[in-house]
Amino acid sequence: MSPEVFVGIFREALFTIMLIVAAIVVPSLIVGLMVAVFQAATSINEQTLSFLPRLMMTLLTLIVGAHWFTQTMMDFMLNIFEAIPMVIG
């Protein structure tokens, strides 16, 4: 039960979390940037205008990527279950 095993598991968990969160957040950031550029070009000063497109993009990303998100989390959990003998012994 060495600390390297726990550090490896923790590193893999953080990487999986960052990968999934980035896949959800980056498309909505891009849409938000496009709306902000449009607002700056047209001098529209409505703060709530960018909320709906970002929300719709986030929901669309969750719908389209749900299978991949689930598969990534399942792979991580299988790796954790396979690492139980290393942690115990």
DSSP, residue by residue, 55-79: HHHHHHHHHHHHHHHHHHHHHHHHH
Higher pLDDT pick, 72 / 46: 72
Whether 89 maps to a domain, the answer reads no
Q: Please check whether residue 30 lies inside any domain of the structure.
A: yes
What is the count of structural domains for the chain?
A: 1
Inside any domain, residue 66:
yes
Minimum mean pLDDT range among 12-16, 27-31, 41-45, 67-71: 41-45
* pLDDT band (50, 70, 90) for residue 1: low
44 or 60, greater pLDDT: 60
Classify residue 2 by its DSSP letter: -
Quickly state the pLDDT bin for 62 (edges 50, 70, 90): very high
Contact 73, 16 (CB under 8 A): yes
How large is the average pLDDT for residues 30-57?
A: 90
Instruction: Let me know if residue 31 belongs to a domain.
Output: yes
The answer to whether residue 40 sits within a structural domain is yes
Domain assignment present for 11:
yes
Which residue range forms the structural domain that includes residue 13?
3-84
Does this model's pTM top 0.85?
A: no
